[in-house]
Chain A
Amino acid sequence: MKRNGIFFWVGAAVFLIAIALMTKLITNEYPFFAGYVILQFIVLAVAWSILGGHAGYVNFGTSAFFGMGVYTAVFLFKVAGAPLLVQIAAAAAVGALMGFALGLLTLRMQGIFFSIATIALTIVIETSITNWRYVGGAAGIQLQRPPVTWPFSGYVQMLFFVQAVLVVLAVVVSRYIQNSWIGRGLQALRDDELAAECTGVPTLRLKVLACVVSGALMCAAGAPAAMYLQYADPSSAFNLNYSVSTLAMSLIGGTAHWAGPIVGAILLGTTQQLLTVTISSEVNVLVLGVMLVLFVVAAPEGLIGLLRRIRRHRREGKQ
């Protein structure tokens, strides 16, 4: 246990240092541009799994949180020219609030009802933003990046690094939840909510907590996207593709371990980047959908589950 912990923290530190070095050493912007998207999906998938994996509530509303992150940033930038970190912090607060509301919904709806409600939430919020002229309405809004601050050489490099910090933050939180009483409580309520409640698990409180944490991280992950694209419009910021991608990445990676969504996001994120560049973004969504269905049918525990099963077989083989 202890040694695991040291490895984890050293790994996280090495990761951040490597990212920082990259921003110094590589001058071409493209790797950062592509890498940013993958990092963003890692945050989304890890955050999604906190609720979807541990608690078993399937949130189709990733795009609602992501989009609200984008628009929180847009609004603050337009109204006060707020710096990036303020945009992200505010987005996290907005996401936490949305998560709180979502958590209360779990009091009345479970399973498919909850999932449908999250789609509903997405469309309702998207429509409201579409009708809000100040942030650009349906046509969207152009944003001018402010000059980049030291020590970064370019704005995209800075966004890349910031998103990497969010990755570490999300993974730390998710790992903590998995290993603590919170994770055990969520696992119990995922298996059987009534039985968990009757075993002393404060199910509502835990669900709200999971929603708040998950929502805050998703919203925070969306905030830098405004500056990344220098443009925002409701139909792309709230695109359901974010929901299905995140869902697919989490389930394909496997939600039983905090590393699963990371593996899924890197794998699918990279594939997506390649497919979008080489073929088309439609084919990329097709591949995503097919992989999701295949995994859900054939490998319900995801890659992490497959790995565990192989390892168990091998151990049994040795004995």
Chain B
Amino acid sequence: MFSFELLLDAVVLGVLLGCFYAAVSLGLSVAFGLLDVPHVAHPAFLVLASYAVYVLNEFYGIDPLLAGLLITPFLFVFGLAAYRLYYETFEKRGSDAGVRGIAFFFGIAFIIEVLIILQFGVDQRSVTATYIGKAWRIGDMRIPYRLVVAFAVATLLTTLLALYLSKTFMGRAIRAVAQDQEALRLMGANPIRIKQWAFGIATAVLGIAGALLIIVAPVDPTLDRAYIGRTFCVVVMAGLGSMTGTLVAAIILGVAESIVLTLFGASWAPAISFAMLLGVLAVRPQGLFGRRS
């Protein structure tokens, strides 16, 4: 029932899966980790991006990754608009923004879910590409290409975003706004503009992330609920706003899910990320690599 090979299998798949989880969590790491926006609708945006990729793939035969790239600019603009709305209605007014901000994003998530159901129904949707469906064999181990592709693209995406945040002027400004808004204002920069830009970036990376989501497995309209657990687990475990932390935390989650799946079966899978999230929140809310005063 349980063997070393099985475990090794689970760990390798877990690492690949983990890198994929990092890719879908990056946006939240910026939006929530750096900007403190209670973005519960992030996973819903992700699923929405997946459906956009699905449409481009199904009806125009565009490769899912290319499709993800194509929708990226639109997502960026969408993100800019979304932050503006959030800022004008909540952050600017200040008082009690917490309760209503959270309710706002929760409501948005449900609206997206239902709109997808009304348009596409509740059935699962998937994409076609040459690398989907085949697997790579090493000895007894069977690694699906779709996971390898997801792993490679996810790692690239994470690295690019980490470089963007640490090397470019705008990236540094985004990190600075997370640390101290007031100081930035004194330096003559407009923190709101920077946060809006950052939220745009956070939404834009969902293009590729959404493509990966539908490459890795078929999507359905309520998939975002499972990813609330996964993405928040990763971001909180990482310590808010750390990109390297995001990658490491995501791999931990991926491996944990993969092992539990192997040992106890799929019916326990939905609870793993949420249980880990609860554990992290209760024991070490500043995360493993936390920025925290």
Contacts and interface: CB of A to CB of B under 8 A. Distances in A.
Direct A–B touching, Cβ under 8 Å: yes
Interface of A: 52, 56, 58, 60, 105, 108-109, 111-113, 115-117, 119-121, 123-124, 126-128, 130-131, 138, 240, 244, 247-248, 251, 282-283, 285-286, 288-290, 292-293, 296-297, 300
A188 to B, nearest CB: 14
B104 A297 contact: yes
A176 B274 CA distance: 35
B103 A251 contact: yes
Contacts, number: 120
A293 B93 CA distance: 16
Residue in A108, A116, A248, A300 with the greatest tally of chain B CB atoms within 10 Å = A116
Contact of B107 (A126, A138, A240, A248): A248
A112 B98 contact: yes
A285 B278 contact: no
B110 A285 contact: yes
B107 A108 contact: no
Interface in B258-293: 267-268, 270-271, 274-275, 277-278, 281-282, 285
Interface of B: 32, 38, 40, 85, 89, 93, 96, 98-100, 102-104, 106-108, 110-111, 113-115, 117-118, 225, 228-229, 232, 236, 267-268, 270-271, 274-275, 277-278, 281-282, 285
Given A282-B114, A296-B104, A297-B104, A52 B99 contact: yes
Nearest to B117: A282
**Chain B interface secondary structure, helix, strand, loop or mixed?**
helix
Contacts of A297: 85, 89, 104
A127 B281 contact: no
A303 to B, nearest CB: 15
A240 B274 contact: no
B102 A286 contact: no
B274 A119 contact: yes
Contacts of B102: 58, 111-112, 115
